[in-house]
Chains A and B, each alone.
Chain A
Amino acid sequence: MPESSLVKDTCSISAECRTSPLRQFSQSSLPLHRNYVLSTFCTEHNVQACLSHINQEMSSLCLPPLWKESAGSSELNVVAVLNCMYDLIQLQRRGMRALENLEVEHLRSSSNVDFLQLASTQLKEQLELSKRENTGLLEKERQLQLKVKSLQNCLKNEKEEVQKLQNIIASRATQYNHEMKRKEREFNKLRERLNQLLVDKRDKKHAIDMLNNIGRADGKRSLWKTEKTEAKHEGEMYKTLLSDYDTRQRELVLENAELRKVLQQMKKDMVFILSSRERNQKEDQREAGCIQTDSEDEEEVFDSSKESVDLYCAHAREKLTNSIRLQWRRLKSHVERLDSQASFAQMSESKDSAAVPQETHEEEMDRLKLEIQRCKDFIQTQQLLLQQLNSPCEEETTSLLSDCYVSQGKERLREEWKTLEEQRQIFERERRNFTEAAIRLSLERKSFEEDRASWLKHQFLNLSPFADTKKPLMSKSKSAFLISAESEVSEVLSPEKLIRSPSDTTSPTHRCLSFTSPSSDDLFHTLRLVSENSSTRPKTKTERVEESKILRNGNDPVQHEWWNHRREHSKHTLTQEMNGSVTSQQLLSSESGFM
């Protein structure tokens, strides 16, 4: 139908402005159906224009025109207009139908799109899920593969072990077989031999054929086997065992002692090292460790004072090992510290912390160098001196110097020698004095005793008539001798006193003679002299006292005189050798006769 083609054309023309005009048209079509809106397109004035416009529109729509201009009349062909209108209405209906169809299509397609979008999201989710599953499965597969590998390794190991065991079994089997065969062979031999023996009647008995018995190796007789010998054997066996254990124990004890000594030494060294180090670094480390080392030192000192016997008890042993472990740990930590310090110092040379020990190092070095230099100089000077001493002097000054030194030394030596000599002489003199005094003292005492005894006898005999006859004799001879002696004494006495100190060769005679003063004062004086010269003062004192007593007690001047005489006589007895006088001898003999 041409209408349908027209509709198609219109559709194609109006394809460019699809939606909105259609929508507008449809939207506007609705109100067209419901409410007719008067259009203000044509008015009474623009009828012709509108007509022409409408004609144009018609022609554009491929519809027959409304009127022809050639008619000249403005009369509208009603039929044409009606046809036109009808055509237009048809067109419009068709358009509406097409629009509805398109709308339906559009709806359908949009719902399709929605549906597809939904489907795609769902599929995406599914894809994600499946991807995750896939990775999970891959992971599982990897693990399973690892497991498979390890199991394969295990299997290999097991196979190897099985192989080894099989080898072992095989070797054992061959060994068993070999042994079995050997035993079987032996068994067969036995069987044969048994057969042979049973069959063969000639059974050779074993025997020994010896020319003569030989003696035992140790020459002793063999003993019967008795319980005593058995016990002896047991005893000997235990003795051997015991001696072996003894020697072993001794060796172990010695080894132990040595090791302990070594440990002690080690401990001492360690303590020493640590303590010396800690003394240097006391400012740095004020730890409990310091105190501990002190205590350890004390302990160590205490330990060393103990005898090694103490260390035999387990407690002491434990203490020693523990203390060594402790010291070793400390030493180790100390060494580690040093190492770290050294490495630190190496790493950071410019830093101050490293410089400080370095500085101290350098100071130490300088000090040591100075010391070394000083020592070297000293050694050099010593060497020079030694050289000078040993080698012959070439320079005058040196020779002079040496001479000076020598003479000075000689002078000093001489002086010292002199003083020593003097001292020696003094000592000698004094010694001699002492000895002489001692001798004299003893002799004096003896004579005194004799005197006393004789005096007592005289006293006793004074009562007797014989006494007077003897006295004048004695006194006469005595006095004569005395006078002569006195004169001698007076001459000798003074010089004696002068040269007392140096010479020690004064004979006791002079001394004795000096004592021969008759007066009591002189007697005292002499006694005092005696007391001065003799070493034993108290004795002389008592002697003096005794003598004074006797003197005081002695009423008779005759007795006194006699007493003096007696004393002189005693002195004379002392000086027998010196005088060698007959008178004294006579006196002696008379005395002895008298006694």
Chain B
Amino acid sequence: MNFSEVFKQTNQLCKVSPDGKYLATCVQYRLVVRDVSTLQILQLYTCLDQISHMDWSSDSLFILCAMYKRGLVQVWSLEQPDWHCKIDEGSIGLVSSRWSPDGRHILNTTEFHLRVTVWSLCTKAVSYIKYPKACQKGIDFSKDGCYLALAERRDCKDYVSVFVCDDWHLLRHFETETQDLAGLEWSPNGCVLAVWDSCLEYKVLLYSLDGRLLSQYSAYEWSLGIKSVTWSPSSQFLAIGSYDEKVRILNHITWKKITQFDHPVTINSTKAVVYKESKYEICPLPVQLPVVKPDPDRANPKIGVSSLAFSSDSRYLATKNDNMASVVWVWDMQRMNLEAVLEQTSAVRCFQWDPRRPRLALCTANTKLYLWSPSGCVSVQVPTEGGFQVHSLSWHCSGDSLILIGKEQLCLCFMDTDEEDK
């Protein structure tokens, strides 16, 4: 494992291009593009204000930099550094900005979610989408980039609009049976749209691409409901993490629950391996996990399963229960039971699966990087002077390197091929 030197960044804006060749970072109002393998600076762009959001286009040719305070979006070209593009939303303000899947349109959400403006970089044409919903996840593009699902709210009712990304033609518009739609997500095969309600009501609705309601699932009433939802990459499973500290798995054939994963405080009588940090020794069961009781008077309590992630082969599911924020649970989807429990010394900030193989990287805002794979667990100290605290991480699309992002710094970690773990 090799570590690169440390570079500066602001706002945790560091992204690798989709083709894996370039790394773009933002430093204040500058955009720096480097080559991933040599980390040499290839391009340097200067924006008009501090960059709030930065993203690559899907063909890795353009980068958008959004400055929310100023309501500006600037687009830079990698091939032609002299080319410039500036989108000014004017007085209507800007809350979020994103690329369309074809890399030629930019969707800006105005302040107060008054509308979504679709700017075309091919024709300078503008389209508007009214009444977008301000929720956790109101916009989702399908994986093949053909369709856009947008949550809307009119007259105190929730709707979903499906647009064809080719020409922004409204394909379907239907009302959803939700009280307060919190999010929507396409299945990886692009045929099913999962829509879920806010935490006040546990409800997941599954709609087909043509707007038919396929199924509805609700585990219980009254108590706080869904906290997180994710699809498995094979589209076979839908994992729902809820405030009752459980993860429920639905299958794609009957849309019924096939299993549920509990996160108990005491672990015993399982075949799972429990790794405790400090030495990453394997603990014998039973194991007692540290629990932090959330404040009952506060909204959005720190309880329940907030993070879910499937490995790329859909074999493993990693979960984090906010009660036990320093513990990451790894479940085996083939055998439908607990595979491993990773107990860290402090709260886990971020974990992500290797896009190529079943390897999980996690960080806990200290100077270490932790890796888990079915063969074992390893913790690596990031060798930097001045202490580099890893706040978040992201894998390179090839799975050969990791980008470690700290508060004001970033560092690259290059993996050896066929790394042998403990």
Chain A interface residues (CB < 8 Å from chain B)? 165, 167-168, 170-172, 174-179, 186, 189-190, 193, 197, 203-218, 222-223, 225, 229-230, 233-234, 236-238, 240-241, 244, 248, 252
Contact = CB atoms under 8 A, between A and B. Distances in A.
Interface stretch (B119-127, B265-273, B342-350, B382-390): B119-127
B299 A178 contact: yes
Contacts of A230: 169
B61 to A, nearest CB: 9
Interface string B56-83: 0011001000000000000001000011
Given A206-B87, A252-B253, 13 more contacts: A171-B301, A172-B200, A186-B112, A189-B112, A204-B88, A206-B88, A206-B90, A208-B87, A212-B83, A222-B122, A233-B169, A234-B171, A237-B210
B200 A175 contact: yes
Given A174-B298, A233-B171, A217 B111 contact: no
From B59, B82, B117, B210, name the one whose CB has the most chain A CB atoms within 10 angstroms.
B210
A499 to B, nearest CB: 87
B281 interface: no
Contact of B90 (A207, A233, A236): A207
B111 A204 contact: no
Given A204-B91, A230-B169, A233-B171, A213 B122 contact: yes
B422 to A, nearest CB: 38
Contact of A170 (B103, B112, B117, B296): B296
Contacts of B222: 165, 168, 172
Nearest to A234: B171
B169 A229 contact: yes
B210 A216 contact: no
Interface in B133-171: 146-147, 164, 166-167, 169, 171
A230 B210 CA distance: 14
B223 interface: yes
A208 to B, nearest CB: 5
B228 interface: no
B299 A208 contact: no
B297 interface: yes
Nearest to B221: A168
A217 B104 contact: yes
Contacts of B164: 233, 237
B104 A171 contact: no
Given A208-B85, A208-B88, A216 B169 contact: no
B300 A175 contact: yes
Nearest to B168: A225
B138 to A, nearest CB: 15
7 contacts: A168-B224, A190-B112, A206-B89, A213-B122, A216-B104, A233-B171, A244-B191
Contacts of A234: 171
Contacts of A170: 296-297
B143 to A, nearest CB: 12
Contact of B85 (A172, A205, A210): A210
Dominant SS among interface residues on chain A = helix
Interface of B: 58-59, 62, 77, 82-93, 102-104, 111-112, 117, 119, 121-124, 126, 146-147, 164, 166-167, 169, 171, 189-191, 199-200, 208-210, 222-224, 253, 296-301
Contacts of B62: 214
Contacts of A238: 210
Contacts of A167: 296
A205 B90 CA distance: 5
Dominant SS among interface residues on chain B = loop
Contact of A215 (B85, B122, B124, B210): B122
Contacts of B199: 175
A240 B121 contact: no
Given A168-B222, A172-B200, A216 B91 contact: no
A313 B86 CA distance: 64
A213 B169 contact: no
A210 to B, nearest CB: 4
B91 A203 contact: yes
B102 A218 contact: yes
B35 to A, nearest CB: 23
B189 A244 contact: yes
A75 B137 CA distance: 158
B82 A216 contact: no
Contacts of A213: 121-124
B121 A214 contact: yes
From A178, A204, A214, A244, name the one whose CB has the most chain B CB atoms within 10 angstroms.
A214
A208 B91 contact: no
A214 B76 CA distance: 12
B243 to A, nearest CB: 9
Contacts of B147: 237
Contacts of A209: 84-88
B208 A241 contact: yes
A238 to B, nearest CB: 7
A175 B296 CA distance: 11
A578 B37 CA distance: 96
A595 to B, nearest CB: 95
Contacts of A174: 297-299
A177 B208 CA distance: 35
Contact of A241 (B77, B124, B191): B191
B124 A214 contact: no
A197 B114 CA distance: 15
A540 B48 CA distance: 119
Contacts of B124: 208, 210, 213
A167 B224 CA distance: 11
B296 A206 contact: no
A222 B168 CA distance: 12
Contacts of A206: 87-90, 92, 117
B132 to A, nearest CB: 14
Contacts of A168: 222-224
A205 B190 CA distance: 37
A175 B83 contact: no
A197 to B, nearest CB: 6
Given A171-B296, A225-B169, A240-B209, A217 B102 contact: yes
Contact of B104 (A207, A214, A223): A214
Given A174-B298, A223-B167, A229-B169, A240 B190 contact: yes
A83 to B, nearest CB: 122
Contact of A211 (B85, B91, B297): B85
Given A170-B296, A241-B210, A207 B88 contact: yes
Nearest to A179: B299
A222 B165 CA distance: 12
Nearest to B199: A175
From A178, A238, A244, name the one whose CB has the most chain B CB atoms within 10 angstroms.
A244
B91 A197 contact: yes
A229 to B, nearest CB: 7
Contact of B86 (A203, A208, A229): A208
B84 A211 contact: yes
A222 B122 CA distance: 9
B314 to A, nearest CB: 14
A204 B89 CA distance: 8
